[in-house]
């Protein structure tokens, strides 16, 4: 009973703060949060109702999360409307089974299809989860181009002092980017004792990166560079590395290099960990159209105002198989999931994604609230992969007609 009363009290406190801040800033979404208030930071273990409500406003629950702004530019990158794309499938049925909240398909620079659901709106933000990993890795390329980072072959501990003397002394920046460090890490989203559930739970110490301190305590499982193991913790280390190398917060560097100059239409936010640093492996909140614009930035080879902000060949190297993930036709690049047909994607739990197909000049940005983190139990992940293929086929048909 005391635990129940505490939970109720926390929930009421969250609601009180939100009410005081002004529900009008949230718009019609407030009813969902009133019915399903998130009461802690453990988003992996929220109920379906809490996810439906919370993912669209996770940066506006101050007792649970804090964030920093990512500023849009004064002139938005124009997304003109194109002819509707005939997919040859029951789109409504697909979107319903995906629990899809947004879908934007851009082909040859034009919006060919755009849909919203579950009360979500085109001008609202949705959280990205691990889609942020691909953004973070791109900032590494920018930092190299700017001269802040010398080489991907440098030890990561050169930039993060907390890792000196740990198993990470033998790990290079390239091995972090490809998740081949060989350091033990448990990414089980349904286990409350997994590393991904626990890394941000410890109390921060003054001047110390919480995630770096946690990662420094992990043991080695394999020799560096030999085996791939998906690790959100390592992307978080990449974020710390970029901040230490550039002397800038991630939100500021992203704003400076991409968000403002490329012409993102709306302000975005980046969630912070317990130590006040952006959670680099997760949680940029943005409109779906701006996630699509990030895909267009990649298709444009990172060119902003006539000049690429990335080293020559960076995108080509980042988006091809650098690590074998033991899945036919797939691989892992620099924090991008790769496909042998040349397409690649940023992927986030519970159905977030940016799919990019350079050969077809195609970007598919979508957000959802899947019934499980990986979408395996409900078949959402496989259905989305089939949908990507259906869109590719529709584009091919469209060109042949």
CATH code of residue 232: 3.40.710.10
Tens digits of per-residue pLDDT, 159-191? 999 999 999 999 999 999 999 999 999 999 999
Reported as a pLDDT band with limits 50, 70 and 90, residue 77 is very high
- Residue 31 has a pLDDT of 58
- Residue 4 has a pLDDT of 38
30 & 146 share domain: no
Q: Is residue 365 part of a domain?
A: yes
Q: Identify the burial level of 116 via C-beta atoms within 10 angstroms of its C-beta, where 0-12 means exposed, 13-18 middle and 19 or more buried.
A: middle
17 & 97 share domain: no
- Residue 63 has a pLDDT of 60
117 & 46 share domain: no
pTM, 2 dp: 0.92
142 & 242 share domain: yes
147 & 242 share domain: yes
What is the domain extent for residue 217? 91-400
Tens digits of per-residue pLDDT, 305-338? 999 999 999 999 999 999 999 999 999 999 999 9
195 & 261 share domain: yes
Tens digits of per-residue pLDDT, 195-225? 999 988 777 777 889 999 999 999 999 999 9
Q: Is residue 190 part of a domain?
A: yes
- Residue 187 has a pLDDT of 97
pLDDT (mean) for 248-261 = 98
Q: Is residue 126 part of a domain?
A: yes
Q: How many domains does the chain have?
A: 2
């Amino acid at each position: 009973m005391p635990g129940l009363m505490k939970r109720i009290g926390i929930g009421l406190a969250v609601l009180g703060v939100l009410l005081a801040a002004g529900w009008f800033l949230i718009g019609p979404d407030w009813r969902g949060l009133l019915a399903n208030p998130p009461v802690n930071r453990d988003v992996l273990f929220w109920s379906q109702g809490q996810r439906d409500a919370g993912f669209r406003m996770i940066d506006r629950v101050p007792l649970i999360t804090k964030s920093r702004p990512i500023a849009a530019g004064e002139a938005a990158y124009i997304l003109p409307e194109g002819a509707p794309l005939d997919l040859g499938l029951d789109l409504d049925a697909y979107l319903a089974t995906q629990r899809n909240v947004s879908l934007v398909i851009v082909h040859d620079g034009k919006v060919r299809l755009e849909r919203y659901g579950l009360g979500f709106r085109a001008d609202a933000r949705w959280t990205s989860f691990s889609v942020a990993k691909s953004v973070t890795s791109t900032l590494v390329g920018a930092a190299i181009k700017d001269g802040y980072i010398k080489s991907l072959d440098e030890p990561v501990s050169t930039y993060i002092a907390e890792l000196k003397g740990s198993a990470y002394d033998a790990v290079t920046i390239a091995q972090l980017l490809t998740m081949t460090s060989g350091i033990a890490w448990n990414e089980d989203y349904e286990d409350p004792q997994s590393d991904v559930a626990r890394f941000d739970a410890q109390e921060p110490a003054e001047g110390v990166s919480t995630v770096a301190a946690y990662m420094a305590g992990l043991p080695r499982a394999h020799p560096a560079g030999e085996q791939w193991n998906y690790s959100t913790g390592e992307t978080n280390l990449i974020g710390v590395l970029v901040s230490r190398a550039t002397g800038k917060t991630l939100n500021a560097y992203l704003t400076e290099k991409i968000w403002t100059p490329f012409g993102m239409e709306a302000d975005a936010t980046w969630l912070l960990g317990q130590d006040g640093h952006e959670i680099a492996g997760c949680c940029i909140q943005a409109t779906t159209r701006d996630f699509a614009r990030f895909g267009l930035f990649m298709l444009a080879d990172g060119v902003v105002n006539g000049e690429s902000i990335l080293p020559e060949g960076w995108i080509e190297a980042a988006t091809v198989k650098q690590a074998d993930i033991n899945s036919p036709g797939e691989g892992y690049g620099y924090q991008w999931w790769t496909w042998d047909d040349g397409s690649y994607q940023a992927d986030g739990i519970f159905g977030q994604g940016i799919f990019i197909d350079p050969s077809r000049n195609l970007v598919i940005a979508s957000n959802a609230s899947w019934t499980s983190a990986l979408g395996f139990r409900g078949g959402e992940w496989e259905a989305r992969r089939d949908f990507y293929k259906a869109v590719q086929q529709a584009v091919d048909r469209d060109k042949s007609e």
